[in-house]
Amino acid sequence: MKAIKRIGVFAALICSFFIVTFTWFPEHAHASGLTEEVQARSFIIMEMKSGLIIEEKESTTPNVPASLTKVMTAYLVLDEVHQGRLKWEDKVTIGSRAAGIGETQVYLRKGEEFTIKELFQAMLVYSANDASVALAEHIAGSEEAFVHRMNQKAKSLGLQNTHFVNCTGLPRRSYMDPPLVAGKQLMTAEDMANLTRQLLRNYPEVFETVSQPHIYFREGKPNQKLLRNWNMMLPSLTHAYSGVDGVKTGFTSEAGYNFAGTAKQDGMRLITVVMGTQSNDKRFTETRKLMDYGFKLYEMKQMIHARKGIPGHQKISVDGGVEEEVKVVAKNSLHLPIHKGKQKKYGYQVEITKKVKAPLSQGSVVGKVDILYDGKKVPGLKSVPLVIEKDVEEAGWFRKFFRGIRDFFTE
């Protein structure tokens, strides 16, 4: 009776549930004027490990992605490689359609052969449209079929406000025969940040390509071409920024100047996206403001340790067990970007979601814990399961009988 009452009081103190990604600590950005200071149609700052959004502006409003589209094209190429359907050294024969694509290109000619790796690098480093189409046709048979795969992948990744009509990001008018896909090419800054996060988490080898300031195409041949990365925030380039090692730029007259960037400093990786800036330089100066904001105000901390107890919530009562209390521990660790100098504002909220009654097996999930900031749950963060540290055997009838007598007289 007493044990059940203690569990009830403990559980009644708290409740929690999973909430989709959402901005937290908005008061800091508003106080600093960041949303007004950054000259972009939309922007976002996301911490890589947790996926938390530190700050944003119009990040769920669809915009034209331009060549940010190629991040999804790259994702599907890497899917194929990891599933064993492609090898980097596989040869691609260039068709007439890929050879005829304009705008930024490496001037592929019909009948030429290049490896998957060569085309992949040309697409991501130099934003070559012809390389993008050549990859799409090789993988899916046609660009149109490939675009359908892009949209399917967007859905599976939870990109709710994204739609592709081609694999390059070019406007339809730039195609002589655009893919027959209805709708308009659109993405949100939030979707772009989430796509970038999934790309970097699932396929970290992409850094080997997107971090290169330049590469050579047709290397060793008479028509060798130096391809310079459009990301001017990479080391040694015009807008170099400490820790930047990716990812992709994009531009059309309708989209403006877009940039999805990432940088790592002091163990924390940020992903930033700006859409609709006014010039090539602006997309980098505005990204610098976002990165400065994130790195100066936040730092990564391990808030929860796997197989360790939660401060203030080490043990819970067990009904009918040989032991009357059992230690609960976190099933996994949790790292979080926290506001520098405000660690005391963080706390824990625990919920026991299961009646704790013996017998219990080690590792049984009995509750969950959420992180609080200033007394409120941090939105966009998954709860961490709480589990039993060790087996708890059921008490025999004799022990239960005398406990019942004890509890009766101590009520």
Residue stretches of the annotated binding site for substrate: 248
Q: Which of 57, 70, 282, 289 is catalytic?
A: 70
* For residue 31, pLDDT beyond 50: no
pLDDT tens digits, residue range 68-93?
Answer: 999 999 999 999 999 999 999 999 99
CB within 8 A of 56, min separation 6: which ones? 23, 42, 43, 44, 45, 189, 190
How far is residue 181 from each of residues 90, 103, 184, 323, measured CA to CA in Å?
28, 21, 9, 64
- 174 classed as catalytic: no
- Annotated active-site residue 127? The verdict is yes
d(CA 141, CA 133): 11
Identify the active-site residue in 50, 67, 317, 383: 67
Q: Which pLDDT tens digit goes with each residue over 324-338?
A: 678 889 999 999 999
Is 70 annotated as catalytic?
yes
Q: What is the pLDDT of residue 364?
A: 85
Q: Cβ atoms within 10 A of the Cβ of 406, count?
A: 11
Q: Which domains does the chain have, with CATH numbers?
A: 38-298 (3.40.710.10), 305-409 (2.60.410.10)
pLDDT above 70: residue 397: no
pLDDT at residue 405, as a whole number: 60
**How many angstroms separate the CA atoms of 319 and 128, rounded?**
66
In this predicted model, what pLDDT tens digit does every residue of 145-167 receive, in sequence order?
999 999 999 999 999 999 999 99
* pLDDT (average), residues 339-360: 83
Round the average pLDDT of the chain to a whole number and report it. 88
Instruction: Please say if the pLDDT value at position 34 is more than 50.
Output: yes
Name every residue whose Cβ is closer than 8 Å to that of residue 405 and which is 6 or more positions away in sequence: none
User: pLDDT at position 32, please?
Assistant: 58
Per-residue model confidence as pLDDT tens digits over 231-277: 999 999 999 999 999 999 999 999 999 999 999 999 999 999 999 99
Q: Is the pLDDT of residue 399 over 70?
A: no
Catalytic residue among 127, 132, 317, 383: 127
* pLDDT confidence of residue 325: 72
pLDDT at 18 exceeding the cut of 70: no
Amino acid at position 110, single letter? K
Q: How far apart are CA 187 and CA 190, in angstroms?
A: 8
* Confidence bin at 406 (pLDDT 50/70/90): low
Give the pLDDT band (50/70/90) at residue 320: low
Which residues are known binding-site members? Answer: 248
Contacts of 66 (CB under 8 A, 6+ apart): 169, 250, 251, 252, 255, 258
| Confidence (pLDDT) at 361 | 82
Q: What is the pLDDT of residue 6?
A: 39
Instruction: Specify the pLDDT at position 401.
Output: 52
Predicted confidence (pLDDT) per residue in 357-392, tens digit: 767 788 889 899 999 999 999 888 889 999 988 877
Burial class (CB in 10 A: 0-12, 13-18, 19+), 375: exposed
Predicted local confidence at residue 408, as pLDDT: 59
Question: Per residue in 172-185, pLDDT tens?
Answer: 999 989 999 999 99
Model confidence at 1, in pLDDT bands (50, 70, 90)?
A: very low
